[in-house]
Amino acid sequence: MTLAQVRAELEAMADPRTLAVNERHGDRHAVKLADLRALAKRLKTQHELALELWETDDAAARLLTTLICRPKAFEHDELDRMIRQTRTRKVHDWLVNYVVAKSRHTEELRTAWLADADPIVASAGWALTSKALVKTPELLDLAGLLDTIESQMKDAPDRLQWEMNTCLAQIGITHPEHRDRAVGIGERLEVLKDYPTPPNCTSPFAPTWIAEMVSRQSAS
């Protein structure tokens, strides 16, 4: 399929009601994610088409990019440019998780982005750090991460704060030797303590999140 054909399909899939729901969550795409995944399954991997879709600056097209691209084909500077172009939450999340996390430059970008002045870019660094806590913890200074979280998370912008809080919880969940400190930081800062949580879902408040996941681990 050509770029024009794919864009026509995306336009045909667009639903104003889907857009209205997504905009309430910081997204700008009008295509259901299940429909995007079905289209990606038909297209399979097409890296050049993925690049063309990205350059349209359309949120649905960029989500499709993350599903049909070849993550290891991207150069460091390409991924850095793409994360800086990304303001939509779902595109940002998929770019980090489906592309950057599978690239050849994950660790280099993770460390660079953690210190970036742009809070959206920095949030990508923290998201990758949460993954590294499970996959490559030997690369991390856990005490140093907790120091940074303790001093900066309370006043961080929303998206950056969310990812720092996720990292705090993951440290407490996956590293028992740091669990008491992680819980203590969460209790003192009270970040997301009153976050509205649906029934049967785990609160993002770090002490609650840690306790729930550790309890599940003990029961399994």
- Give 50-96 pLDDT, tens digit per residue: 999 999 999 999 999 999 999 999 999 999 999 999 989 999 999 99
Q: What is the pLDDT of residue 26?
A: 77
Distance CA 54, CA 81 (A): 11
Q: What is the pLDDT of residue 38?
A: 98
In percent, the amount of the chain with pLDDT more than 90 equals 90
- Give 108-157 pLDDT, tens digit per residue: 999 999 999 999 999 999 999 999 999 999 999 999 999 999 999 999 99
Q: What is the pLDDT of residue 27?
A: 83
CB 205 within 8 A of CB 195: yes
Distance CA 7, CA 61 (A): 7
Confidence of residue 193 (pLDDT cuts 50, 70, 90): very high
* Angle ∠(13,14,18) on CA atoms, nearest 5: 120
- Give 162-192 pLDDT, tens digit per residue: 999 999 999 999 999 999 999 999 999 999 9
Q: What is the pLDDT of residue 124?
A: 98
The closest of 124, 133, 73 to 97, measured between CA atoms, is 124
Distance CA 116, CA 132 (A): 18
